Structure 1
């Protein structure tokens, strides 16, 4: 998978060096925004749409930066997406997770450094296999795409925690997405099935030693958006999580201290023109390592800006 990650990054860089940027562009907001993993969609989950403003016969690109914060954690993300002929999408995202609260694990004998951050690189490819969200908006046919996301984590002084949990520092997610745009009703609905063994999207590694769950499983993700106008959209997302580590935590006497909850958000997106969009969301991320956060649920905000061509 390291070769796959390198190949996609080189392909993105090569395409950008000689990019023929899209000139016509899609309808505003119908191409989604950039998710935290880099793929076009909502903030938390990919859609079947292909990122950038490129339509058939064009190559486009987008860049994004985002910030998410909750009671105990923070996440900065930046990424690049290239859309090829409205058929193939290549993406790269770098996530910087503020895991300072993990020093609470030192009471269990670890040596997590103060101010520790966890970094994760996500390289993705998405291919549209059927339908067209806009052209098929007057029928029941959705746009369907399949995708792969290769994730690699650098955990710093938290790496011994990964070893204790039996989690790996890299993993691969596979997904299939179906996006249906009801243009006459100004409603977009997306459903995604993800095959993953990522803990907290991969920021806490992949899989678990027994009695935790190590094998990947299928989990659903859903988005619904309403286009208030050509420039504004509101919506909500739900992303189920595999919860691989809870059984291991219970066996170690931590009760539900390693439980992983599903993610949800409410968002508003604004596209003042075809090149720029801004997304603001309220996040409900449930519990993240509740053993060191007094079982607090993590809620907060997400702010993302995207520039697309």
Structure 2
């Protein structure tokens, strides 16, 4: 399975330059979003209804990204890619590596990292981000597999794989915030994931699906710069440690339609018994 996922990732990255000749110039700058930590187009923590790249209704598009998050005791590194067709369907892939050196030393764990692979698909159901009366609405699915399941199983996780299903609504309102463009996004997610799946799926406290809410808001200061906030509600499945909601404050820079850079200050709350996990987030994306 892991070799298959790696092959897909390399194939996606290799194909992205070829898609550049097909990607559209009609969508507004920044409307492709950034690479979300599970591979979908959106913000850093939350998927949006937008699709990756800048392809319009008769074009293809795509994006590849790398992300690093560093808190006091943990690190998360993500590499991913996404491809969209006719601004209707998005396919994505991501590999997450979660470093936990402090927890390993404290609890004498046999590993210092957890890895997870995520395959995603998103379908635009209706609407447009900018035009028309209603928001753009998309239905997404993320199939996840945790690759280092021994420790999560010992603390109560039930499964090493799971599927998240989410529904996102996004709208870019022109000149709505003091003359500047305002982006709003709301997402509902059905999930069994512990810490997005990095600690497995289901637990001794709760094993069935939870419906959680996620949201983003951003103001475009000008066509190239945006500031915003995100919030991601989390289920609480494991008895050994409470799982807190996530939030961040971000700044995004879109120098052109090929590059996006996002910096953020993230607050992940308590993670696996270690308290107040806060720190920096940096993501760089190439779009086609």
Normalized against structure 1, the TM-score is what? 0.85
**Contact residue 278 and residue 303 of structure 1 kept, 8 A:** yes
Task: Give the secondary-structure state (helix, strand or coil) at the position aligned to 1:184.
Answer: strand
Q: How many residues align?
A: 279
Match of 2:263 in 1: 280
Q: Which residue in 2 is equivalent to 1:252? A: none
1:171-200 Cα distance to aligned partner (Å, 9 max, x none) = 100000000111132101000000001011
Question: Structure 2, unaligned stretches of length 5 or more?
Answer: none
The alignment partner of 1:183 has SS state of: strand
Q: Which residue of 1 aligns with 2:69?
A: 68
Alignment partner of 2:153: what SS?
helix
The aligned residue for residue 276 of structure 2 is: 297
TM-score, structure 2 length as denominator?
0.91
Question: Which whole-Å CA distance do the structure 2 matches of 1:52 and 1:13 have between them?
Answer: 13
Structure 1 gaps of 5+ residues are: 250-257
Equivalent residue number for residue 46 of structure 1: 47
Deviation of 1:30 (Å): 1.6
Q: Indicate the SS of the match to 2:90.
A: strand
Q: Which residue of 2 aligns with 1:159?
A: 150
User: Residues 284, 166 of structure 1: CA spacing in aligned structure 2 closer, same or farther, 3 A cutoff?
Assistant: closer
Q: Does the 8 Å CA contact 1:196/1:216 hold for their aligned counterparts? A: yes
Larger % of strand: which? 2
Match of 1:80 in 2: 81
Match of 2:175 in 1: 184
Number of the residue aligned with 1:213: 206
Query: Is residue 9–residue 123 contact of structure 1 (8 Å, CA) maintained in 2?
Result: no
Q: Which residue of 2 is the match for residue 126 of structure 1?
A: 122
2: CA distance, partners of 1:199 / 1:25: 39
- TM-superposition CA deviations, 1:4-36 (whole Å, max 9, x none): x97x949x7499386453042521112211100
Matched residues in 1 for 2:226 and 2:107: separation? 44
Could you report, residue by residue, the CA deviation over 1:39-69 in whole angstroms, capped at 9, with x for unpaired residues? 0010000000111111110001110001001
| C-alpha contact 1:90 1:125 (8 A) present in aligned 2 | yes
Pick closer, same or farther for the CA change 1:31–1:161 going to 2, 3 Å. Answer: closer
2:272 pairs with 1:308: no
Instruction: State whether residues 92 and 122 of structure 1, in contact with CA within 8 Å, keep that contact through their aligned partners in structure 2.
Output: yes
Question: Which SS does the other structure have where 1:165 is aligned?
Answer: coil
